[in-house]
Structure 1
């Protein structure tokens, strides 16, 4: 019986070892090859295309939200009970032809006579069941002292002011005269302008509204008072004199103020409240709702050094209501260029149709008296409203109490997720988070530095200190481009620091080849940068919720969708799972809602700041020439750092930054 040679018995083992070694090497090679293929697809063209789509989408949102105005109606098309821009424009033309009409001038007397004559015609043609009262009210003397705003702690003495007051109510409902809605604007202008925007446009809208309301008021439960005041440009004296001296003022339960910080465009809610009844009613019936609490928060902060009659109604009389404002072409505000030819077609139709629908609804409401609660009571109960429109078609509105609960819920869930992730990831995750936050800090520092540096240099190389006033889109090249390059530079420096740290961590994992480790380090670094972007919005949400800032809803919008997209397509709490390239679908899904909800607002805010910049150069030598540009550059850098942080995290694997 032969014995099998030992070599034959050991051969299979050797072969198995060889096969096993080959299999392991092949597996690593396939893994390495797979990562390289997926990474190679991240070309510069990909992110450039994505960036272009984001910019174009933002521009499209802005155009639809703010440049999409209704078609003007003629008197025949509007009918006796509708609003006609063509008819209102005749009033604008007549008032602007008088030239500047300041207090004490002959032109202001002519303007008052024109308005008075138009109201007498409305009285003659009103519905037979409507009682129309016209009062030419003269104020001998008075004084105002406000507690906030640009006139804080200043005593303003006024005398010899004339106002025209129109009251409409049903003849057979005498109780209606005890509860009234005030609609107010001012006839006077500053000395340098004919005031097509500020505020002949508002006065003309009121005249056309009064004509339409005179055909509806027989069904009202409340009176409607139209106040055409003078003295607004002299320290809000007109509104103060009416609210403190006119006998009808005691019946007012809600105040609506129409104003302009430019000429034309959409007239949006500039301030609302404190009682939410007015803005809730407006949101439910307005055909083209426009308004955002962001503007109210900015104005309340004192950043914009201005004031409207609404401050008097709210502070002196304790009234709630709405403050509307035109803000297009802000650079012509209070200048000789505030002319009729700049008034964009459809502007008056937009405000008129919204106001007509609102007045018809609120004047028939039996809840008007509830809107007269004191400001302190409403604010202390957290019952103010958070409001913002979506594309100028829908208005989202909810109470501050609900906002606090919603934001607190999101904050707690976010903190729970972050805590769980850090506990499972251990010290490596904690340090990675710290370095990714460092990347965000560097992004802010470099973005602001680059943009502000451009703002300082601009007056030195330009014949005009503010060349972007006539061509607003110049700010893209002057400030947005440096801010973007600075943000990219700062974040890439943080990216390199984080990548170096992770290289030391992965170097301890001997089971992976150096090639695979290098790719995995890049992928994990990218994902930490994306998560750090959501963390900065979480911090803003916490701060906004703590101080009860209404516009903190923006932080919620920019936190939740990207976090949801990441959790659905990317996230895992398993530390051992290898990272993968950030999916393009994650960015699409995460950024779609934030862009839709806020792109128009950011662009509009930029145009408003550009318009306000002209105030700094009207008095040469009063302020440095670089000051308005620095303020604008800071705002643009902040917007870029906040909104493009997710996109920036996607760029570093493209090879462009290497």
Structure 2
């Protein structure tokens, strides 16, 4: 039999006919008479010998080599440069970073270090004031120090925070041509922030941005200025001093700095949520600014990032939103994103910033700013937002080239893709009608969609096994690439399983073999259809489907018109298992190897570390499994047609092999050796040592913001060391009533906290009612006005907080009016409110005036006691609803208030450990964590809290 089968194949004999009614039942059976009047169809050519497996090795080598080249270019950074005329110097930017992170350290708004750093920077900026000679003429430098008060609303997820800031500050520099005052009418703003977060030395975030901006100032005022010509528009440098406190300083600038705010036409925002690799353009709102970005010598940006960030999936925010919302100014938002494990941790120090990061970022910013401020082609004066439903398409290639296509041109190209895909499919169906190309291609389309679905399901099944079955969630967290090893094999196996099931639907050997070519038709059909759908919804990320469409269209075209002859296809010259030439797979692999590999690492570099701060309730394993499965499907499109090239038996072996690899990976990742965290991919620990000044109790609250298991064991380990005589920790409910974490509200929603008692220090409290009057922390109600007819109460609540920062009032009320300028109180009746304050060091009190609507019970209590305009201070010493010697007055507010001890944060105040009880506890806790749990990065804060009736 084998020899006879080969003989038939060589002589062009026909294969056995398919069963009637199957998809392959088109050609008549051998020897059968055609029906009267029916056209005579030549028989389909018999199958050729099975193709050589050598293609797999060559294709793998080609894909790996091209991917390696792409990733090498993606991660490559320029050589750091020393100071030289007309050249950006990383050495200078790193020195600025070193001074800020090491000499000043933790620059938390409200602390002395925060003010000291600002004074140091102001001195450097003042040295540039005046007129400077450059090769393009004289430039004028003006410097302002802005200090002011204000208020704004900050929305995060479904929560709203109302902010009041006092003595917030900015340092502002304007560079403009001395002989052209009109240039000041249109300015480009470059922004970074001087402050750091709780508590982090903020080397990259945002000492890097400050260092880049100082270099811009040096270069713009030097004789050898590197601009492309004389300045046509002014350059404004905003060194804002309050971003980490929820964008207070940028709000102050864009709403109150009259000398410059009205001239701003565009913003370039410099940020960092990582310490390595190229910076990412992750938000853009104007085509004119995108043309400026296109001048960057090493671009790395994509409209996909813009879509992802704009969707709210990335739970973060930057000053760019404030400029856009309050100033209606368009922006480019750029940030270093590599190794973002260290973002907002103690480990954000200059030693961990990869050499070349500042040079890469600085060179690009210099190119962008030079074009927008000095090029005759710059349209800075005419920036306007692009419509959200009609975004331009932009993306980078190899970190060297930037593609920018207007929405109108993109729609025209998309229609062209669609028309050509329709032509090619029609031509293929007609030429391959002897293989029932239409029916087989339709089945292949369904198979492609199901392959994606099942690959997602398969990867998520492994995620479910890891989290629920093996209690090994997030075991891949310590490196961004590890999820590929765990979740890609089951995803691909699931995709192959669908293709195996699809083959079983066809009994005819020719139809099974033709699935290889039909799958390529399915690919460009599905991608093109998806492209048109996403375009209809105005989603810029449609370009990814366009790349898939282009890839498969070009591969199909080359296969049918160049590698093979379309005329010979129509004459049925090619057997079904020779309809795809080996070279076609290399064409299918080019674009995925470039865009797929870079897109995969970019996505994982961003999302894997992000799962370490999205909360315990976040299904981190399922999120990452879904991303890996989707990326594998998009980055390896050649696998679907390739799965049909070597027959059913080979496909079965491939599935079994992938399942075996998957089982091995599950065993490895579930083993004790695979721990989620490491010193360079740390677990974030949020520890609040809370002094309750109403009852004198001291408690330790320990929370985490990831879904990794065994956190309770870590808490108990710490408790046994620092509070061995107290009961084990208990799980707290994290909601908007948990005042222990109000300092971090609304980010606190992502924290799962535990609580245990600790020893009360022997030294007297600084802030309790029995402490010195000059240091008490208390709430006062004053200037009360009751309108019993209208059922309202107007009252001023004053917070006195000497030595404390970032104070918060949380209370339930129905607010009709308040004195937050330009901020309307929320509607909807009685609800929970969080009003937060931040101020410069030395701001020891603040107030809020409100008009409240009283409920019937509150109104009755107010009528009973009468109006009281005298200052009223009353600390509550019992929980809500508990018996008390002093029953609560329903007509007054029940306020949970809290604040940070400005000198009680570890390690920023470690020099005070011997004189402050809370720091002594943190010193002991910190030493234990460093010794026993080096994989933990702890945020150790001293919180003073209480409950007041006002």
TM-score norm. by structure 2 comes to 0.59
Shift in Å, 1:458: 2.6
Question: Retained in 1: the 8 A contact 2:109–2:242?
Answer: yes
Q: Distance in 1 between matches of 2:298 and 2:195?
A: 28
Q: Distance in 1 between matches of 2:517 and 2:200?
A: 56
Question: Retained in 1: the 8 A contact 2:47–2:577?
Answer: no
Q: Distance in 1 between matches of 2:407 and 2:235?
A: 29
Match of 2:192, SS state, is: strand
Q: Does 1:212 align with 2:202?
A: no
Question: Retained in 1: the 8 A contact 2:77–2:356?
Answer: yes
In proportion to residue count, which structure has more strand? 2
Shift in Å, 1:94: 0.6
Paired position in structure 2 for 1:226: 237
Paired position in structure 2 for 1:558: 548
Shift in Å, 1:633: 0.7
Q: Distance in 2 between matches of 1:239 and 1:576?
A: 70
CA deviation vs aligned residue, 1:533-569 (integer Å, no higher than 9, x gap)? 2222122211222122222222122212322222222
Shift in Å, 1:64: 1.1
Paired position in structure 1 for 2:692: none
1:430-469 maps to which residues of 2 (within 5 A)? 430-459=438-467, 465-469=473-477
In structure 2, do the counterparts of structure 1 residues 28 and 107 end up closer, same or farther at CA, with 3 Å as the change threshold? Answer: closer
CA deviation vs aligned residue, 1:126-177 (integer Å, no higher than 9, x gap)? 437221111111022232466xx75886543332211111111122111122
Structure 1 window deviating more from structure 2 (540-549 vs 178-187): it is 540-549
Question: Retained in 1: the 8 A contact 2:186–2:381?
Answer: no
Paired position in structure 1 for 2:650: 656
1:260-409 maps to which residues of 2 (within 5 A)? 260-274=272-286, 276-283=287-294, 285-365=295-375, 371-375=381-385, 378-379=386-387, 382=390, 384-409=391-416
Question: Retained in 2: the 8 A contact 1:610–1:632?
Answer: yes
Shift in Å, 1:355: 1.5
Question: Retained in 1: the 8 A contact 2:442–2:522?
Answer: no
CA deviation vs aligned residue, 1:514-537 (integer Å, no higher than 9, x gap)? xxxx3x333212222232222221
Question: Retained in 1: the 8 A contact 2:456–2:626?
Answer: yes
In structure 2, do the counterparts of structure 1 residues 144 and 214 end up closer, same or farther at CA, with 3 Å as the change threshold? Answer: farther
Shift in Å, 1:634: 0.3
Q: Does 1:57 align with 2:66?
A: yes
Paired position in structure 1 for 2:693: none
Question: Please, which runs of 5 or more residues in structure 1 have no aligned partner?
Answer: 1-22, 504-517
Q: Distance in 1 between matches of 2:333 and 2:582?
A: 43
In structure 2, do the counterparts of structure 1 residues 169 and 371 end up closer, same or farther at CA, with 3 Å as the change threshold? Answer: closer
In structure 2, do the counterparts of structure 1 residues 259 and 271 end up closer, same or farther at CA, with 3 Å as the change threshold? Answer: same
Paired position in structure 2 for 1:415: 422
In structure 2, do the counterparts of structure 1 residues 400 and 543 end up closer, same or farther at CA, with 3 Å as the change threshold? Answer: same
Question: Retained in 2: the 8 A contact 1:256–1:323?
Answer: yes
Paired position in structure 1 for 2:713: none
Question: Retained in 2: the 8 A contact 1:562–1:591?
Answer: no
Q: Distance in 1 between matches of 2:388 and 2:82?
A: 47
Shift in Å, 1:84: 0.4
Q: Distance in 2 between matches of 1:187 and 1:25?
A: 77
In structure 2, do the counterparts of structure 1 residues 420 and 585 end up closer, same or farther at CA, with 3 Å as the change threshold? Answer: closer
Match of 2:450, SS state, is: helix
- Say what the alpha-carbon RMSD is for the aligned residues: 3.0
Shift in Å, 1:493: 1.7
Match of 1:135, SS state, is: strand
1:455-534 maps to which residues of 2 (within 5 A)? 455-459=463-467, 465-497=473-505, 499-500=506-507, 503=508, 518=509, 520-534=510-524
Question: Retained in 2: the 8 A contact 1:183–1:226?
Answer: yes
Q: Does 1:579 align with 2:576?
A: yes
CA deviation vs aligned residue, 1:96-116 (integer Å, no higher than 9, x gap)? 112221111112112212221
Q: Distance in 1 between matches of 2:255 and 2:633?
A: 48
Of 177, 199, 202, 1:192 maps to: 199
Larger relative contact order, structure 1 or 2 (CA cutoff 8 Å, min sep 6): 1
Q: Does 1:609 align with 2:607?
A: yes
Match of 1:169, SS state, is: strand
Paired position in structure 2 for 1:87: 92
In structure 2, do the counterparts of structure 1 residues 448 and 311 end up closer, same or farther at CA, with 3 Å as the change threshold? Answer: same
In structure 2, do the counterparts of structure 1 residues 26 and 197 end up closer, same or farther at CA, with 3 Å as the change threshold? Answer: closer
Question: Please, which runs of 5 or more residues in structure 2 have no aligned partner?
Answer: 16-44, 653-950
Q: Does 1:535 align with 2:525?
A: yes
Paired position in structure 2 for 1:515: none
Paired position in structure 1 for 2:620: 628
Paired position in structure 1 for 2:127: 121
Q: Distance in 2 between matches of 1:200 and 1:62?
A: 27
In structure 2, do the counterparts of structure 1 residues 586 and 123 end up closer, same or farther at CA, with 3 Å as the change threshold? Answer: same
Match of 1:138, SS state, is: strand
Q: Distance in 2 between matches of 1:642 and 1:536?
A: 12
Q: Distance in 1 between matches of 2:493 and 2:6?
A: 42
Q: Distance in 2 between matches of 1:192 and 1:483?
A: 40
In structure 2, do the counterparts of structure 1 residues 318 and 41 end up closer, same or farther at CA, with 3 Å as the change threshold? Answer: same
Q: Distance in 2 between matches of 1:72 and 1:302?
A: 35
Question: Retained in 1: the 8 A contact 2:520–2:552?
Answer: no
Paired position in structure 1 for 2:118: 112
Q: Does 1:30 align with 2:11?
A: yes
Q: Distance in 1 between matches of 2:127 and 2:377?
A: 32
Question: Retained in 1: the 8 A contact 2:108–2:199?
Answer: no
CA deviation vs aligned residue, 1:429-475 (integer Å, no higher than 9, x gap)? 44323321232233123311221122223346778632333222321
Task: Please say which structure displays the higher CA radius of gyration.
Answer: 2
Q: Distance in 1 between matches of 2:9 and 2:374?
A: 76
Paired position in structure 2 for 1:646: 638
TM-score norm. by structure 1 comes to 0.84
In proportion to residue count, which structure has more helix? 1
Shift in Å, 1:369: 6.4
Q: Distance in 2 between matches of 1:28 and 1:430?
A: 25
Q: Distance in 2 between matches of 1:345 and 1:234?
A: 29
Shift in Å, 1:32: 6.6
Question: Retained in 2: the 8 A contact 1:47–1:650?
Answer: no
In structure 2, do the counterparts of structure 1 residues 174 and 116 end up closer, same or farther at CA, with 3 Å as the change threshold? Answer: same
CA deviation vs aligned residue, 1:242-261 (integer Å, no higher than 9, x gap)? 00100110111111111112
In structure 2, do the counterparts of structure 1 residues 258 and 28 end up closer, same or farther at CA, with 3 Å as the change threshold? Answer: closer
In structure 2, do the counterparts of structure 1 residues 495 and 195 end up closer, same or farther at CA, with 3 Å as the change threshold? Answer: farther
Q: Distance in 1 between matches of 2:190 and 2:452?
A: 45
Structure 1 window deviating more from structure 2 (305-314 vs 152-161): it is 152-161
Shift in Å, 1:179: 1.4
CA deviation vs aligned residue, 1:185-239 (integer Å, no higher than 9, x gap)? 1111211211112111111111111111122489312111100112212222221
Q: Distance in 2 between matches of 1:575 and 1:452?
A: 47
Question: Retained in 2: the 8 A contact 1:286–1:355?
Answer: yes
Q: Distance in 2 between matches of 1:250 and 1:25?
A: 82
Q: Does 1:69 align with 2:77?
A: yes
